[in-house]
Amino acid sequence: MRSVFFNTEILEAEKKIIENNNIPSIILMENAGANSARFIKKFIFENNITKCILLSGKGNNAGDGFVIARHLSESKTEILILSMYPLKELKGDAFINYNILKNLNVPYFRISEISSLKEFKKILKDTKIGKGILIIDAVFGVGFRGELDKHLRDIFNFLNTIKSKKVIAVDTVSGLKDYNDSRDLLKADITISMSVNKFNSLFGKGRETSGKIETVDIGIPSWEFDRYNERNIYETEQNDMRDILPERNINSNKYSNGKLFILGGKKGFSGAVYLSSMSAMRTGCGAVIAGIPESINKILEIKTTEVITLPLPENKNKCITSKGIDLIREKIKWSDATLVGPGIGRDADTQELIIKILEEFDHKFIIDADGLNALKGKLDIFKKKNNKTILTPHYGEFSVLSGCSVDEIKKDIYKISTDFAKKYNVILVLKNSPTIITDGKYFYINRTGRENLATIGSGDVLSGIISSVYSVTGDAVKSSVYGCYLHGKCGDNLFRKTGSSSTLAGDLIDFIPETKLSIKFE
């Protein structure tokens, strides 16, 4: 896993690492710039870039930019450096690297100072900038405070109107200090993040503005950053997944490979139980029993050949009721984990049943969809449980559970989610892009998955995957982390085949086997 830092806190961590290890900061700047330039050279070649405009400021981000420019000169790409501030204001490592660049008489390179949009437009006109232009944003890094100067806002907004260009931001999009606000910022196609990722680049408007995130080495091992990751924020990676789901024992049987009970469904929502059940089987669960209203049993017996169905008493609304509680108790005791909620509905009888079984059993529960609706005002039932319950809400459902508005959640997603999980002794899987997983102490960011997953039934597949892993491993956090990663990775594979808007939730199930194998062995 890779540490993630808030923009306001990474500089302090770097300062401590530099001081404690006696590392000259200019060496880190050289590493950052050289490795960024290596990536940019490849980008230039692949995108037929003919000219680069590097926008520089007056701090360390500009210094990174000057190093990048020096190394890019080897690619014989014309580089125009436009300093957004008087060059006399440069200091420290940035000033040193500017002088190196100037004194070496680097070919294909020139520099000008810019103080207005008018000057900027004139230079663009004079240099006959056309297609194949790359803008490198090295004005401000993570240390930016305050507001962007007017000439920067004007230039950034003007550049955003030019379609025939690519933009790469160095470390972070200049001026990005709040992941909910991207006004007047230069929208990047790619952000090259130095050593660790920055929180503001991964969420909300910050994510949209930052484009694809690429991380480059600056010469500090990742575990050194982990030492200063006091908030325990981590981005999950494929290497973390390989050993979570164990290989089956050669002498195992279907009942020793994870037994899952799913309680859900109502008339019109049989598909939710189908998707959860089949995704659980495909993920590796040895046996799945689906407890469903008796009126949809016939159709599910036909659709879910490998899943055992348990028809349960229902009310006039075709929803499960407490009349079947003895059968439900029996299957909860049988199971290694129980998923409650897919398509279950909000009928009062059903909601009462959910609370009754949650109060009665200290069991490995996963609560999803309308099962979450029953928990409003009842969350204290989880506080003293030994077995962790996994809750899988989207923002709207979490708003109901937490009592916070969606806007409040988005504004302070880290604190609200970790406080909630800690207070109620649960594992929170907050579904969005990216999805976060937290137990109150650790905050995991899952960046697999794209916009094609925004389709009905996708969440049911996710709950089935997580529940399957939980039934096998018994570890709520690892099951949630793995489940989110696998689900998102299946979506990524489908995106490459069918694009952003043609994915069906059922398609994900077919991709589980090959995606599992790729996670394990690639």
Identical fold between 2-235 and 254-521: no
CA–CA separation, 322 vs 340, rounded Å?
Answer: 14
461/368 Cα distance (integer angstroms): 11
Q: List Cβ neighbours of 267 (8 Å cut-off, separation of 6 or more).
A: 293, 295, 296, 317, 318
- CATH number for region 254-521: 3.40.1190.20
Q: For the chain, which residues make up each domain, given as ranges? A: 2-235, 254-521
Strand extents, DSSP E, 257-405: 259-263, 287-293, 308-312, 337-340, 365-367, 389-391
pLDDT of residue 506: 96
* Residue 397 pLDDT: 97
Q: What is the pLDDT of residue 129?
A: 62
Q: Does domain 2-235 have CATH number 3.40.50.10260?
A: yes
CA 84/CA 58 separation, integer angstroms:
8
Q: What pLDDT, in 10s, does the model give residues 474-499?
A: 999 999 999 999 999 999 999 999 99
Distance spanning both ends of the chain, measured CA to CA: 17
d(CA 38, CA 232): 31
- State the pLDDT at residue 131: 67
Compute CA distances 274 → 254, 327, 363, 486, 509, whole Å: 20, 20, 23, 19, 11
Residue with tokens 């950053």: 225
Extract the residue ranges of the chain whose pLDDT is less than 50.
none
**What's the whole-model pTM score?**
0.94
What's the CA gap between 167 and 52, in Å, rounded?
10
- Tokens found for residue 499: 């694009």
Return the DSSP state at 104: T
d(C-alpha 122, C-alpha 140), whole Å: 23
Predicted confidence at residue 447, as pLDDT, reads 95
CA-wise closest residue to 442 among 401, 481, 487, 486: 481
How confident is the model at residue 130, as a pLDDT?
Answer: 60
Note the residue count of the chain. Answer: 522
Distance CA(488)–CA(519), nearest Å, equals 12
Task: Quote the pLDDT of residue 25.
Answer: 94
